[in-house]
Structure 1
């Protein structure tokens, strides 16, 4: 009889242990689905903004150095189609140095503009409303940057464009391109051009900024050592489980 009771006790103990393990697994599953136990949507949103701010601090600031655009093939500003024919014509006429200078000054203007406008990008990130932080966290490795780009490009353009216009003048790009366009338009049998350089450089520089922020977002998502705060570690550990 004692042996029977002892056997029943063992079975009950094992069963209780199995139930406890099952509950633990269910709990972890619920945590994963709900966003990680104590992690609220606000916590995740805060971490995503921190990651984006890190992108500005670590990557976008590289664009503000001399050659930050010009010698970075990922973001270097090339000529729009309208001006490519101008470039080709100048080179055919032996004015390659002028054509090269035209490209360089556009990139110099972008470098200067991003330097002046960095607080604008930080402010846009700070004020950004993230409506579905958990979905962004569990998305692609550029999801936060893509969300930032989608929700802030229009207001950023409005604030950044005047800075670019000032920078074009500051680095002498306006004068260089006025000379280039004047020479080209004076040639016989060519269609005259009148490009909006401010619009073009503003658009391309913004694209460069978002590309560099993406670099840091990917780094934080894949490299544990890049999670430099407790919040980043906690939030992106949830992403690691997906």
Structure 2
């Protein structure tokens, strides 16, 4: 398997004008034919798009965040230290309302994430795709995360801000912070950046969903829902 991957990598670098990965065997066990560079690139894009679709469908529903213990958003770390104080003073309802609406905003915002992520996928090169196919079960997700996180955060931030306002999460969270800051005993005023916090959590949740789908496509032939996914990942698994 290592020799095959080294051969793929060297051919990718040395045969830039050639689309087909020549000099490889014409077939592999199960009748899988040779995979071209463009097929590998297309398969990786489809795998990521499938993962994004799965992630959005899972998270962009009522309780997609709030009802999921893996993704549920609580108050930002800086604000969590004031939560117990407010609850002890009988203001737990205000805290709970803020937490609920923050989650509702995240659930709403991920519905607008698809074109942002798809645009980022289009930047993947053929060489990137070939290197990813030979990688671990989360290689595509790691590559995507490393290359696009900051761009996605920049593009996603206004979407999150809009959802936070739409669901009054900004107001309810502001009530929590203002109440604490107005205590006579409060010396260090609190003002965490709520949009940045929610953006980070939402993007992380989507990446996690993409990673799960990537691992599933690599391991489970049934999850390969297109002919190109079946061919490329079947070829990779047989090699």
TM-score normalised by structure 1 residue count: 0.82
Cα contact 2:5–2:134 (8 A) shared by 1: no
After TM superposition, give the deviation of residue 102 of structure 1 in Å.
1.6
Alpha-carbon displacement from aligned partner over 1:16-58 (angstroms, at most 9, x marks no partner): xxxxxxxxxxxxx759943665323322121011011111222
- Alignment-derived partner of residue 197 in structure 1: 194
Within the candidate set 84, 88, 92, 1:92 is matched to 88
1:81 matched to 2:77: yes
Aligned counterpart, 1:159:
155
Q: Report the alpha carbon displacement of residue 129 of structure 1 after superposing the two structures with TM.
A: 3.1
* 2:144 corresponds to 1:148: yes
Paired with 2:196 and 2:61, the residues of 1 have a C-alpha distance of 22
Task: Tell me the residue number matched to 2:48.
Answer: 52
Partner of 1:129: 125
SS at match of 1:132: helix
More helix by share: 1
Aligned pairs (5 A) from 1:24-63: 33-34=7-8, 37=26, 38-63=34-59
Shift of 1:175: 0.9
**Shift in Å, 1:222:** 1.0
- Who is 2:233 aligned against? 236
Cα shift at 1:135: 2.3
Matched with 2:215 is 218
Alignment size in residue pairs: 214
Aligned-partner SS, 1:131: helix
TM-score normalised by length of structure 2 = 0.83
The answer (yes or no) to whether the contact 1:185–1:192 under 8 Å persists in 2 is yes
Q: CA deviation at 1:77?
A: 1.8
Partner of residue 118, structure 1: 114
CA distance in 2, matches of 1:168, 1:130: 38
Computing the radius of gyration over CA atoms, which structure comes out larger, 1 or 2?
1
RMSD over aligned Cα, in angstroms? 2.0
Contact 1:32 1:238 in 2 (8 A): no
Extract structure 1 runs of 4+ deviating beyond 4 A: 29-33
Looking at structure 1, the residues matched to 209 and 235 of structure 2 have their Cα atoms a distance apart, in angstroms, of: 24
TM-aligned CA deviation for residue 194 of structure 1: 0.7
Specify the alignment match of 2:101 in structure 1: 105
Alpha-carbon distance in 2 for matches of 1:97, 1:241: 56
CA contact (8 A) 1:75 1:211 kept: no
Q: Residue 127 of structure 1 aligns to a residue in which SS?
A: coil
CA distance in 1, matches of 2:203, 2:50: 17
C-alpha distance in 2 between matches for 1:136 and 1:117 = 23
